[in-house]
């Protein structure tokens, strides 16, 4: 399954482009721009599984660094600071990884 099976290619391009500068990533704005906040829980889980590259059932810090590339190959790598902020937002139980229920979509 490709990300464009769930989300609009145009929305993905705009969202990834909006955060192309180093240290500019804002996960709340990104998930809103890419259209994820309007998707059903089932679609959010589909996106989660696409981002879970090692199929562990979790998105670990190493996978988060490349989250924008998960949406499009043109995406940049997140900085360590951005990666840690995203992990902190989604890691509900403090185990250092994000489960499918922790996709940081709530306000």
Q: What CATH number did the domain enclosing 49 receive? A: 1.10.238.10
pLDDT value at position 107? 43
Can you say which residues are annotated as belonging to the binding site for Ca(2+)? Answer: 52, 54, 56, 58, 63, 91, 93, 95, 97
Q: How many domains does the chain have?
A: 1
Each residue of 58-69: b (16+ CB within 10 Å) or e? bbbeebbbebbb
Task: Provide the b/e sequence for 24-56 (b: ≥16 CB within 10 Å).
Answer: ebebeebbbbbbbeebeeeebebbbebbbeeee
In a domain, 87, yes or no: yes
The pLDDT of residue 75: 95
Residue 59 lies in a domain: yes
**For residue 17, pLDDT beyond 80:** yes
Tell me whether residue 83 is in a domain: yes
Known binding positions: 52, 54, 56, 58, 63, 91, 93, 95, 97
pTM of the entire structure? 0.90
């Amino acid at each position: 399954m490709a990300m464009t099976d769930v989300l609009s290619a145009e929305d993905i391009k705009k969202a990834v482009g909006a955060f192309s500068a180093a240290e500019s990533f804002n996960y709340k704005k990104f998930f809103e721009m890419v259209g994820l906040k309007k998707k059903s829980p089932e679609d959010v889980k589909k996106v989660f599984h696409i981002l879970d590259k090692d199929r562990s059932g979790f998105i670990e810090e190493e996978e988060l660094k490349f989250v924008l590339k998960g949406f499009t190959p043109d995406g940049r790598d997140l900085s360590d600071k951005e990666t840690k902020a995203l992990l902190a937002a989604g890691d509900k139980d403090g185990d250092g990884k994000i489960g499918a229920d922790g996709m940081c979509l709530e306000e």
